[in-house]
Amino acid sequence: MNTKTMENLLAVADKKSVSKAAELLYMSQPTLSRSIRSAEKELGFKLFCYEQRQMNLTDAGIIYINGVKAILAEKQAMEKKLAELKDESRQQVRLLVPPDEYAFVARYILPDFQEAVPHTELLLMENSQELAMEYLMAGLADLVLTTSAAAIQNGLEQQILYDDEIVLALPLSWMPPGTFSLTDLADKCFLLTSLENSWALLESDILRQHGFTPKIVREVSGCPAALRMTVSGCGVSFLPRRLAQMHEGRIAFQSLSPPYRYQRCAAYPKSPRLTKAAKRLVDILASHYPKYDHYLSMLRKEESSWRGPSAPF
């Protein structure tokens, strides 16, 4: 007896009605009735008896339906395992990584992923945020490391990795005495990322909250470019505190008032669903990114030993 017949008989047992079961199964009542009679003939037992205007199971029917439930549950579990195996056979997970986070991912995430999922390749794709979103939406990547705001704007699922703060950064030679604010820098050039970049969403929100419009704006491609130009004395920028701290002594920076916090996340489309390997990658990212501060501190010490304290950026 095939599983389709088993599913038909289970539907009759659940609905206690041939007509209701036939409607559920999108088949005619006579066809379902013939299926019942054929199964009873094959088994040599009556499975149903019509009592009080409903189809009730006989003793043999109860034994049979309990066995059917077990068989169909095992079939469902087998199909789930086969689907997972099919996912794993893709053998590759493609992760889009911002340039300033690439070294961290390659050094800490990649080895752990290779150990956890040895038969799947993790392809790290270094890309700007605007191009990363295009790649993701076109199906050329599986996940992207980005801001929570960008994930929401693009309708993506997300796993929060860490919280950070955006600070106001400027060249050391521009630093006014004491603390400084946006209004103190009104005559300075502001380095703002292009509108296609997800970081621009956060910059726009900061300017809106402070009711401040820069008089001079120079468009840059992203945070790494803004940092380089700030170090070079070209303008004021909004940077992640973690990135600014790596270059303390080369730039001046301080918190906004009130402090402006944001979240970094791993984002991915709602469909198609993530493979088992991609889900494992998300777990590894979530376990490592809380240690990102420690990594940046180590990297800064390493860079100091390589270049010396007065080396150019």
Domain(s) labelled CATH 3.40.190.290 in the chain stretch across 92-307
pLDDT tens sequence across 182-230? 888 999 999 998 766 678 889 999 999 999 999 999 998 778 889 999 9
Instruction: Flag the least confident range among 4-18, 93-107, 236-250, 288-302.
Output: 288-302
CATH node for 3-87: 1.10.10.10
**Helix (H) / strand (E) containing 267:** strand 251-268
Confirm whether pTM is higher than 0.85. no
Chain mean pLDDT for the chain? 86
- Find the radius of gyration of the CA atoms of the chain: 30
State the CB neighbour count (10 A cutoff) for residue 302: 10
pLDDT in tens, 253-301: 999 988 999 999 999 998 878 888 999 999 999 999 888 877 777 766 6
Parallel/antiparallel/unpaired status of strands 157-171 and 236-240: antiparallel
| Confidence bin at 86 (pLDDT 50/70/90) | low
Quick check: 130 pLDDT over 80?
Answer: no
43 residue type, one letter:
L
CATH of domain 92-307: 3.40.190.290
Structure tokens at 63: 């034994």
CA distance 170 to 256: 13
Under DSSP, is residue 185 helix (H, G, I), strand (E, B) or coil? Answer: helix
Contact 287, 160 (CB under 8 A): no
